């Protein structure tokens, strides 16, 4: 009996220590930023020769590094619309240059920006911080570039899907495209570590639970799901889609987490979405 009590006490101490350390562990697990220099942050280095480097200031005075990529004249006719791209939890905008180019070739102006703590952007990433970053990106496109809200399409992938969805719930837009969305970080973590007592842990603004609130969405939605995605399993993305109101469409793609955005089937689905809801040429 004494040995059992010692073991239980030890387990309890470990659980308490883990719970206390959770606010430190969570950011370490969630954010994997790549930092850029003035040289490595130039868009021309990645083939975006017509792009302009811009700095976007957030409501809490953090400067975000971004590229404004105009419609590519070598592509389809301009459709007088803009896309804001919200990337995932790792890397920087440097690795998303092909996505910006593909959108520009589809007749869109594109804002590609790094969250705080990523690329050349100031600050440190956090849940509330990334929400503020998304708001700043929105203001840049709508207020500074003069794009009407209903001519803006929000495109988010992985963690960026939660950031884009949170913005979409507070603003009108022409459409929302989500790659590998999830209901919230607690659900995603439970899927990989069901033994973790996630309901008992302290979540200080980093739940990223817009997927759980997607029933309040008031714009067309396209959900892209990787059938071989082990990071965000298809069933999590399905939960987001099922909760969303019409009009909505989901496309299942023979891709894993890292090949979902950029897959030809994904681009075909985006083409159809842009043609149907923004009148872009397909």
Question: Please, where are the H alpha helices in 115-207?
Answer: 127-139, 159-170, 185-192
Half-sphere exposure of 106 (CA within 13 A, CB side): 25
At residue 11, the pLDDT reads 41
pLDDT reported for residue 7: 43
Distance of CA 276 to the CA centre of its chain: 23
Find the largest Cα–Cα distance for the chain: 78
The pLDDT value recorded for residue 64 is: 98
How far, in Å, CA of 241 to CA of 247, rounded?
11
pLDDT, block means (10 residues), the chain with 282 residues? 46 46 64 97 97 98 98 95 98 98 98 98 95 98 98 98 97 96 89 72 76 96 97 96 98 97 97 97 86
Cβ–Cβ < 8 Å for 189, 169: no
∠ Cα 217 219 225 (to 5°) = 80
Distances (CA, A) of 242 to 58, 171, 215, 231: 33, 21, 9, 20
Q: What integer pLDDT is reported at residue 15 of this predicted model?
A: 45
Q: Does domain 31-278 have CATH number 3.30.70.790?
A: no
pTM of this prediction exceeds 0.75 = yes
List residues with catalytic annotation: 158, 229, 257
> What are the residue ranges spanned by the domains of the chain?
31-278
The pLDDT value given to residue 199: 66
Q: What's the number of CA atoms in the CB half-sphere (13 Å) around residue 132? A: 19
């Amino acid at each position: 009996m004494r040995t059992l009590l010692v073991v239980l006490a030890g387990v309890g101490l470990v659980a308490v220590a883990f719970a206390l350390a959770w606010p430190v562990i969570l950011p370490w697990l969630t954010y994997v930023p790549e930092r850029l220099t003035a040289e490595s942050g130039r868009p021309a280095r990645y083939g975006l020769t017509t792009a302009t480097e811009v700095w976007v200031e957030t409501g809490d005075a953090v400067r975000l590094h971004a590229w404004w990529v105009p419609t590519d004249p070598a592509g389809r006719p301009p459709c007088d619309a803009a896309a804001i791209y919200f990337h995932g939890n790792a890397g920087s905008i440097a690795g998303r240059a092909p996505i910006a180019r593909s959108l520009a070739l589809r007749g869109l102006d594109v804002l590609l920006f790094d969250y705080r703590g990523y690329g050349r952007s100031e600050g440190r990433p956090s849940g509330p911080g990334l929400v503020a970053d998304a708001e700043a990106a929105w203001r840049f496109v709508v207020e500074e570039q003069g794009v009407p809200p209903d001519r803006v399409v929000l495109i988010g992938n992985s963690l960026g899907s939660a950031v884009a969805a949170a913005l979409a719930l507070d603003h009108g837009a022409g459409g929302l495209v989500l790659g590998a969305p999830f209901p919230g970080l607690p659900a995603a973590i439970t899927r990989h570590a069901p033994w973790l007592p996630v309901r008992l842990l302290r979540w200080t603004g980093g739940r990223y639970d817009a997927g759980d609130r997607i029933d309040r969405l008031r714009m067309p939605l396209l959900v892209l799901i990787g059938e071989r995605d082990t990071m965000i399993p298809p069933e999590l993305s399905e939960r987001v889609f099922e909760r969303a109101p019409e009009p909505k469409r989901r496309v299942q793609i023979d891709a894993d987490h890292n090949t979902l955005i950029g897959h030809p089937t994904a681009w075909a689905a985006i083409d159809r979405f842009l043609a149907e809801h923004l009148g872009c040429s397909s």
